[in-house]
Structure 1
Amino acid sequence: NLAKPSSQHQFITKMHTFGTLTLLLLVLIGIASAKQLIDSRIGEQSVRSCRETSVSGVVTIKLNDSVSFQAVCVQRHRQFGDGWMVIQQRTDFMLFYQNWAAYREGFGNFDRSFWLGLEKVYQVTARVPHELVVEYQPVSGPRLYSKCANFGIGSESEKYVLNDLSGYSGTARDCITASKGADFSTFDEDNNINGDSNCAVTSQGAWWYTSDWYVLGDCNTGYHQ
């Protein structure tokens, strides 16, 4: 299970020259910077999305009687406002070199680096439209972001295909729209269409890799950043 953040914990951490990378979901649900969680508290309520609470911190998301999990919600984001759910906070490279089961279920610690889990993201985005924000904070330089007005993925039987991705805008290099239609890949579940190599092994990560990955890179590894 993902661990809860300690109170008054400052979410400002850095890794090498890459910095901090955060993926946020908003209902259509969004994703925002975990640095907004500096004074977060544990939410006791159960809600269907981060739009239904004013809490910035860990909240129990209950989609229905059989689907319930904890997630980090962000309110009052300095640029994107309220209602965002953090699906990833990344400050560590090696933690993210995980197998398929780990990416499906989620891993890490809410007060440091974590991945919420593909199955949770699927369950959330399959119900209503969502926006996605990928936010970068380099060790030096300004904060950058990529935003997609529509975002959704398929089920595990569909290899969590990135089947809905459109309306791109942002200040960062576009590292995501080329992945539309791609299946998710890990080192032990190679679903990328580049048959010559396993991109997850090469990048020491996991992503919706495409045949152009060696040129375009991806949002999640710092490769070709």
Structure 2
Amino acid sequence: MSEDMIRDEQPRAAVHPGLARRLTAEAIGSFFLFCVVIGSGIMGETLSGGNVAIALLGNTLATGAILFVIILIFAPLSGAHFNPAVTLVAFVRRELPGREAALYILAQLAGGIIGVWAAHLMFDLDILQFSSKTRTGTGQWAGEAIATFGLIFTILGAVRYRPAWVAPAVGLYISAGYWFTSSTSFANPAITVARAFSDTFAGIAPADVGPFLIAQIAGALLAAMIGGWLFAEAR
């Protein structure tokens, strides 16, 4: 979400964090988010005895929980994006300069991919691997567009009317998205790329990444356009 929007709710005397601190926050937050997504998928699949629904439930609960935590602690620093789609919307809304937006995305990718490797290390898997899990088709692409649209819409609405509830709102939305979308709601271009480097429960085949990214960006931009109008302050 936008750091400027979050900071509007902070005391005006608060010091604007430097770029290095903001990028570090984005990298660390992405590390834990991606590590939890992959790690909980591995753990869920291991303990579920072949029951995919149970594995997905474990994956869901862990992802929603970590989103609540990292947004809560990092929002005052970087705005807690952890997602290039959120960063893109902040840039489009002129809340983040282009150079900083690009650095945010690089930090998200770098921290997130290291998080994926850390999950592999913890579970004694090959650290470097590529996914073989096919995720393709019109239904899944539509699922990603809708999931990302809903995520951005959730952020914009919560920041506008209930800023203190952004962290639980995002955590709950993504938890729901795991179950109501055909794609299990990646809704994040960086984590889509990172999942291609994990041949585990949460992985995605590298060949299927491109269409997911297009759907996510389209959903994010549409949400920014509609949300910007719907949640605009009265003038």
TM-score (structure 1 length as normaliser)? 0.29
TM-score (structure 2 length as normaliser)? 0.29
Higher helix content, 1 or 2: 2
Rg comparison, structure with higher value:
2
